[in-house]
Structure 1
Amino acid sequence: MEPGLRERKKLKTRRHLYDVAIRLFLERGFDAVSVAEIAEEAGVSKMTVFNYFPAKEDIVAGPMEEHADEPARVVRDRPPGETVVGALRTHFLAALAGRDPVTGLNDVRRLIEVRRMMTESPALLRRVLAFRARREELLRDVLASETGAAPGDLTPKVAAAVITGVLDALTMDNFQRIADGASADELYASAVRAAEHAFGLLENGLGDYGRR
């Protein structure tokens, strides 16, 4: 269903605020820009900014945090007979093919600059760490539920930590090579090989864990 006029106006305003804020952040640095300055530049009140983004960090971290449940969702929705690692491998390879920014294999200049900014601001870095912890927690809960793990069984926690660690390693390697000047198309084949290798190691370690 297409969104109504009111919803379209809200989405347009949200996008406008995001674009203005990101431009200011990239020009002057995240910590050097206030919400009041974003509001003035966007031609709205400070309260309007807060209505769309409860904290300044939400402007930058929000798109990333929308993916916090992604590994858990992929595992939960996988088809019968599919292993946990197999489902995540298929999903990650498809995301690479689509140049999904979540894989790090995306060379849109503004996305590269935003990702770099997130590693340079202490406030944003805290959000990155919180996102990773939340993503791992959600995956752990799904694994524990599906495998019927007993209370105190560390297996789901360890498995979730290892899986999300591999995802982070692949993503950061792709991003670093993109940031160093390579294009996404140039790196695609080697990124696929690295992913296949990494998920192969996971399969060796986790085997049929979580197979339905």
Structure 2
Amino acid sequence: MIEPTGLRARKKARTRDALADAAISLFLAHGFDEVSVSDIAAAAEVSKPTLFRYFPTKEDLVLHRFADHLGEAARVVRDRGPGVPPLAALHRHFRAALDRYEPVTGLNDHPAVVEFHRLVFTTPSLAGRLTQYMLEDEQALAEALDPGPDIRARLGAAQVIAVQRVLARANWQKIADGRTAREVHPEAVTDAELAFARLR
């Protein structure tokens, strides 16, 4: 019997999620550097080659959650309405994400999210891989601003991605220090307004 394509895709997605969940649980319990790929494969009851088919590197087991947002800034610029300046669209998008308490903004106080960010920010190899993701985002945004892209588009894209990173890290730090997302929200909005005003 031939398995329907939709079913096969759902099974692959479930396997991928199960592998990542097993890995993140182990990393949070024991530390990223203390857990081997073999440990993760054993916990998920798959072989190492199967694990590597889903995640090329150990870091990707953690950072695939950020990968969902790869190219997001470029998509916001490409999909903006007629007459909407790119920076206004990006500002509106970030502000809406703050209002939804999206983890990518750092403004989320669910204990698992706070610990996940702590793991990423305090593990050098994860922080380095996240920087690579941001560089890819920066390139995609520059091309959305100008297919060239010329130096102005590259500088603008770098500034936008840096601003989003700084805002998210500042929000996370306040929450990691013991405050709630609702308490931090007004400050996060004020900081975003200031940052995007300076970008303009």
TM-score above 0.5, yes or no:
yes
Is residue 155 from structure 1 mapped to residue 152 from structure 2 by the alignment?
A: yes
Matching residue within 179, 184, 187 for 2:184: 187
My pick for the range that moved more, 10-19 or 155-164, is 10-19
Q: Indicate the residue corresponding to 1:103 in structure 2.
A: 105
- Total equivalences in the alignment: 196
Cα distance in 2 for residues equivalent to 1:29 and 1:111: 16
Q: Indicate the residue corresponding to 2:174 in structure 1.
A: 177
SS at match of 2:179: coil
The aligned runs of 1:20-99 (5 Å cut-off) are 20-99=22-101
Cα distance in 2 for residues equivalent to 1:14 and 1:175: 27
Q: Report how far residue 86 of structure 1 moved.
A: 0.6
Query: TM-score scaled by structure 1?
Result: 0.86
Q: Percent identity?
A: 46
Deviations 1:101-139 (A, max 9, x none): 111101111121121111222221210111111111111
Query: TM-score scaled by structure 2?
Result: 0.91
Q: Indicate the residue corresponding to 2:11 in structure 1.
A: 9
Cα distance in 2 for residues equivalent to 1:90 and 1:34: 41
Counterpart code for 2:109: D
Cα distance in 2 for residues equivalent to 1:14 and 1:70: 22
| Structure 1 moving runs of 4+ over 4 Å | none
Cα distance in 2 for residues equivalent to 1:96 and 1:13: 30
Counterpart code for 1:18: A
Q: 1:41 to 1:94 in 2, by over 3 A?
A: same
My pick for the range that moved more, 84-93 or 119-128, is 119-128
Cα distance in 1 for residues equivalent to 2:21 and 2:158: 34
Unaligned runs of 5+ in 2: none
Structure with the bigger RCO (C-alpha within 8 Å, sep 6+) is: 1
Cα distance in 2 for residues equivalent to 1:122 and 1:62: 17
Cα distance in 1 for residues equivalent to 2:14 and 2:135: 31
Deviations 1:7-54 (A, max 9, x none): 332222222211111111011111111111111112222222112212
